[in-house]
Amino acid sequence: MKVLNEIDAEEIIKALRLNGFVILDIEQEKHDRITRELEAILGASKFESLHESIEVEDLNTYRLELISRLTKENLYTDLLLHEFDFLISSLVGMDVAIQKTPGLSLQLPHDESSLLPMHSDSLVGNSPYELVLWHPITEAINSSAMYILPLEKSLEIYNKKLFIENSIEDIYNQYSPDFVELNIVPGQLLIFSHNLLHGNRINNSSKTRVSINTRIKNLFTPYGNKELGSYFRKARFSIAAELGVKFDS
Partner 1 sequence: MCSNETMRYFVPHRVQNIVMKDFLSKLGLTYVLPKTEIQIPQTFPVLRDILKDKSVKEVFFYSLEMMPFESNEMIEKVYERVRSGVRIWFCVENILLEQKNLDSFIEDQLIMRKKRKGVLIED
- Residues near partner 1 (CB under 8 A) are 57, 60, 113-117, 119-120, 123-125, 163-164, 166-171, 225, 230
SS3 content of the chain, % helix, strand, coil (to 5): 45, 25, 35
- What does 98-141 look like in DSSP terms, one character per residue? EESS-EEEEE-TT-GGG---SB-GGGGT--TTEEEEEEESS-B-
Judged by CB, which is closer to partner 1: 3, or 124? Answer: 124
- Of 120 and 188, the one with the shorter C-beta distance to partner 1 is 120
Q: Element (H or E) spanning 31, and its range?
A: helix 28-42
Q: Shortest Cβ distance from residue 113 to partner 1 (Å)? A: 5
Q: Which lies closer to partner 1 via its Cβ, residue 15 or residue 98?
A: 98
Query: In the bound complex, what is the minimum distance in angstroms from residue 100's beta carbon to partner 1?
Result: 12
Q: Please, which residues bridge with residue 200 across strands? A: 146
Question: How far is the CA of 74 from the CAs of 47, 68, 234, in angstroms?
Answer: 22, 10, 12
Q: How far is the CB of 192 from partner 1 (least distance, A)?
A: 18
Q: How far is the CB of 222 from partner 1 (least distance, A)?
A: 14
| CB of 75 or CB of 162, closer to partner 1 | 162
